[in-house]
Amino acid sequence: MPTTSPDRQTSPHSSPKKIDLDLIYKTMLKQFKDVKDTQSHIMKRLDNMEAEKEKLVENQIAMQESLTSFQNEVKSDFQNFEEKYDEEIRKIRKLNNLVVMGIPETNDGQKLLTDLLKIIYPTSYTSLKLDERIGQLTTSSLRPVRLRFSSATERQLALDNCKNLKGLVQFDKISVKKDLTRKQQELKQNSSTNKIS
Protein backbone atom coordinates (compact mmCIF):
# COMPACT_ATOMS: atom_id res chain seq x y z
CA MET A 1 0.00 0.00 0.00
CA PRO A 2 1.58 3.24 -1.04
CA THR A 3 2.34 5.72 1.59
CA THR A 4 1.85 9.41 1.20
CA SER A 5 3.67 11.95 3.16
CA PRO A 6 1.57 14.05 5.48
CA ASP A 7 2.50 17.32 3.86
CA ARG A 8 1.44 16.10 0.45
CA GLN A 9 -1.88 15.04 1.61
CA THR A 10 -4.75 16.80 0.10
CA SER A 11 -8.04 16.85 1.66
CA PRO A 12 -10.88 15.78 -0.45
CA HIS A 13 -12.52 19.17 0.08
CA SER A 14 -9.52 21.45 -0.82
CA SER A 15 -9.17 22.88 -4.31
CA PRO A 16 -6.23 24.64 -6.03
CA LYS A 17 -6.04 28.39 -5.29
CA LYS A 18 -8.19 30.43 -7.57
CA ILE A 19 -6.34 33.27 -9.30
CA ASP A 20 -8.19 36.54 -8.90
CA LEU A 21 -7.73 38.08 -12.33
CA ASP A 22 -9.82 41.07 -11.46
CA LEU A 23 -7.53 41.94 -8.51
CA ILE A 24 -4.42 41.51 -10.67
CA TYR A 25 -5.93 43.73 -13.34
CA LYS A 26 -6.81 46.45 -10.81
CA THR A 27 -3.35 46.23 -9.24
CA MET A 28 -1.71 46.53 -12.65
CA LEU A 29 -3.94 49.45 -13.57
CA LYS A 30 -3.01 51.24 -10.33
CA GLN A 31 0.69 50.59 -10.89
CA PHE A 32 0.39 51.76 -14.49
CA LYS A 33 -1.39 54.94 -13.31
CA ASP A 34 1.31 55.49 -10.65
CA VAL A 35 4.03 55.09 -13.31
CA LYS A 36 2.17 57.44 -15.62
CA ASP A 37 1.73 60.03 -12.82
CA THR A 38 5.41 59.70 -11.91
CA GLN A 39 6.37 60.05 -15.57
CA SER A 40 4.10 63.11 -15.91
CA HIS A 41 5.62 64.63 -12.76
CA ILE A 42 9.16 63.98 -14.07
CA MET A 43 8.25 65.52 -17.43
CA LYS A 44 6.87 68.63 -15.70
CA ARG A 45 10.05 68.91 -13.65
CA LEU A 46 12.14 68.47 -16.79
CA ASP A 47 10.09 71.19 -18.53
CA ASN A 48 10.60 73.48 -15.52
CA MET A 49 14.30 72.70 -15.48
CA GLU A 50 14.50 73.40 -19.22
CA ALA A 51 12.73 76.75 -18.72
CA GLU A 52 15.06 77.60 -15.83
CA LYS A 53 18.05 76.59 -17.98
CA GLU A 54 16.82 78.89 -20.78
CA LYS A 55 16.44 81.74 -18.28
CA LEU A 56 19.94 81.07 -16.95
CA VAL A 57 21.33 81.05 -20.49
CA GLU A 58 19.48 84.32 -21.26
CA ASN A 59 20.80 85.84 -18.02
CA GLN A 60 24.30 84.63 -18.83
CA ILE A 61 24.07 86.14 -22.35
CA ALA A 62 22.72 89.42 -20.91
CA MET A 63 25.50 89.47 -18.30
CA GLN A 64 28.11 88.73 -20.99
CA GLU A 65 26.73 91.54 -23.18
CA SER A 66 26.69 93.88 -20.18
CA LEU A 67 30.26 92.89 -19.29
CA THR A 68 31.41 93.37 -22.90
CA SER A 69 29.68 96.76 -23.02
CA PHE A 70 31.32 97.74 -19.71
CA GLN A 71 34.74 96.57 -20.97
CA ASN A 72 34.27 98.61 -24.15
CA GLU A 73 33.28 101.68 -22.13
CA VAL A 74 36.31 101.27 -19.85
CA LYS A 75 38.57 100.78 -22.88
CA SER A 76 37.10 103.85 -24.58
CA ASP A 77 37.39 105.93 -21.39
CA PHE A 78 40.99 104.80 -20.96
CA GLN A 79 41.82 105.66 -24.59
CA ASN A 80 40.20 109.10 -24.16
CA PHE A 81 42.15 109.63 -20.95
CA GLU A 82 45.36 108.51 -22.66
CA GLU A 83 44.76 110.90 -25.58
CA LYS A 84 44.00 113.80 -23.22
CA TYR A 85 47.05 112.97 -21.11
CA ASP A 86 49.31 112.79 -24.19
CA GLU A 87 47.84 116.09 -25.47
CA GLU A 88 48.52 117.78 -22.11
CA ILE A 89 52.12 116.50 -22.17
CA ARG A 90 52.55 117.87 -25.70
CA LYS A 91 51.13 121.25 -24.58
CA ILE A 92 53.51 121.37 -21.62
CA ARG A 93 56.49 120.54 -23.84
CA LYS A 94 55.55 123.36 -26.22
CA LEU A 95 54.70 125.88 -23.50
CA ASN A 96 58.11 127.61 -23.66
CA ASN A 97 58.33 127.60 -27.47
CA LEU A 98 57.66 129.97 -30.34
CA VAL A 99 57.54 129.13 -34.04
CA VAL A 100 58.91 131.52 -36.66
CA MET A 101 57.44 131.16 -40.15
CA GLY A 102 58.89 132.43 -43.44
CA ILE A 103 62.63 132.24 -42.67
CA PRO A 104 64.58 131.08 -45.77
CA GLU A 105 66.84 128.07 -45.27
CA THR A 106 69.98 129.96 -46.29
CA ASN A 107 72.74 131.95 -44.59
CA ASP A 108 70.71 135.09 -45.29
CA GLY A 109 67.78 133.39 -43.56
CA GLN A 110 69.92 132.69 -40.47
CA LYS A 111 71.00 136.36 -40.40
CA LEU A 112 67.36 137.45 -40.75
CA LEU A 113 66.39 135.22 -37.82
CA THR A 114 69.21 136.63 -35.68
CA ASP A 115 68.12 140.19 -36.52
CA LEU A 116 64.54 139.29 -35.59
CA LEU A 117 65.64 137.87 -32.23
CA LYS A 118 67.68 140.98 -31.46
CA ILE A 119 64.37 142.87 -31.58
CA ILE A 120 62.01 140.46 -29.82
CA TYR A 121 64.50 138.90 -27.35
CA PRO A 122 67.36 141.38 -27.08
CA THR A 123 68.73 140.34 -23.68
CA SER A 124 69.43 136.65 -24.36
CA TYR A 125 68.97 135.99 -28.09
CA THR A 126 72.44 134.38 -28.28
CA SER A 127 71.32 131.60 -25.90
CA LEU A 128 68.73 130.29 -28.37
CA LYS A 129 69.31 127.47 -30.84
CA LEU A 130 68.46 128.85 -34.28
CA ASP A 131 68.59 125.78 -36.51
CA GLU A 132 65.70 123.69 -35.23
CA ARG A 133 63.47 123.32 -38.26
CA ILE A 134 60.07 121.61 -38.09
CA GLY A 135 59.08 119.04 -40.71
CA GLN A 136 60.72 117.48 -43.78
CA LEU A 137 62.88 119.54 -46.11
CA THR A 138 61.15 120.20 -49.44
CA THR A 139 61.92 122.52 -52.34
CA SER A 140 58.43 124.02 -52.37
CA SER A 141 58.08 125.32 -48.80
CA LEU A 142 60.01 126.96 -46.00
CA ARG A 143 60.10 124.93 -42.81
CA PRO A 144 59.23 126.83 -39.62
CA VAL A 145 61.93 127.40 -37.01
CA ARG A 146 61.17 126.35 -33.42
CA LEU A 147 62.64 128.57 -30.70
CA ARG A 148 62.88 127.12 -27.18
CA PHE A 149 62.89 129.63 -24.35
CA SER A 150 63.89 128.95 -20.76
CA SER A 151 60.38 129.66 -19.46
CA ALA A 152 56.86 130.51 -20.56
CA THR A 153 57.43 134.01 -19.17
CA GLU A 154 60.45 134.52 -21.44
CA ARG A 155 58.48 133.18 -24.39
CA GLN A 156 55.60 135.57 -23.66
CA LEU A 157 58.01 138.49 -23.38
CA ALA A 158 59.42 137.67 -26.84
CA LEU A 159 55.89 137.31 -28.22
CA ASP A 160 54.86 140.67 -26.74
CA ASN A 161 57.96 142.29 -28.30
CA CYS A 162 56.77 141.20 -31.77
CA LYS A 163 54.85 144.49 -31.86
CA ASN A 164 58.27 146.13 -32.44
CA LEU A 165 58.47 144.37 -35.84
CA LYS A 166 55.66 146.47 -37.31
CA GLY A 167 56.77 148.71 -40.10
CA LEU A 168 60.10 146.88 -40.61
CA VAL A 169 60.03 145.79 -44.26
CA GLN A 170 62.53 142.93 -43.92
CA PHE A 171 60.09 141.12 -41.57
CA ASP A 172 56.95 141.62 -43.72
CA LYS A 173 56.76 137.94 -44.76
CA ILE A 174 57.68 136.58 -41.35
CA SER A 175 55.28 135.62 -38.58
CA VAL A 176 55.95 134.56 -35.00
CA LYS A 177 53.44 132.28 -33.29
CA LYS A 178 53.03 130.08 -30.24
CA ASP A 179 54.15 126.48 -30.76
CA LEU A 180 50.79 124.68 -30.78
CA THR A 181 49.99 120.98 -30.85
CA ARG A 182 48.24 119.63 -33.92
CA LYS A 183 44.97 119.46 -31.98
CA GLN A 184 45.32 123.09 -30.85
CA GLN A 185 46.02 124.12 -34.45
CA GLU A 186 42.90 122.27 -35.65
CA LEU A 187 40.75 123.89 -32.93
CA LYS A 188 42.15 127.33 -33.81
CA GLN A 189 41.50 126.74 -37.51
CA ASN A 190 37.93 125.53 -36.83
CA SER A 191 37.33 128.53 -34.59
CA SER A 192 38.52 130.88 -37.35
CA THR A 193 36.35 129.10 -39.93
CA ASN A 194 33.27 129.38 -37.68
CA LYS A 195 33.86 133.12 -37.16
CA ILE A 196 33.96 133.69 -40.92
CA SER A 197 30.76 131.77 -41.68
Q: Which residues constitute the domain of residue 118?
A: 96-188
Of the candidates 43, 74, 95, which is a domain's last residue?
Answer: 95
What is the tally of structural domains in the chain? 2
Are the beta carbons of 113 and 130 closer than 8 angstroms? yes
Q: Are residues 115 and 180 in the same domain?
A: yes
Same domain, 39 and 85: yes
Tell whether 197 is covered by a domain: no
- 174 with 116: CB under 8 angstroms? yes
Contact between 105 and 142 under an 8 Å Cβ cutoff? The reply is: yes
Q: How far is CA 102 from CA 34, 127, 144, 178, in A?
A: 102, 22, 7, 15
pLDDT per position as a tens digit, 53-72 = 989 999 999 999 999 999 99
Residues 125 and 175 in one domain: yes
Residue 145 has phi, psi (to 5 degrees) of -105, 130
pTM exceeds cut of 0.95 = no
How confident is the model over 11-41, as pLDDT tens digits? 555 555 667 888 888 888 888 888 888 988 8
**105 and 176 together in one domain:** yes
CA-angle at 159, arms to 158 and 160, nearest 5°: 90
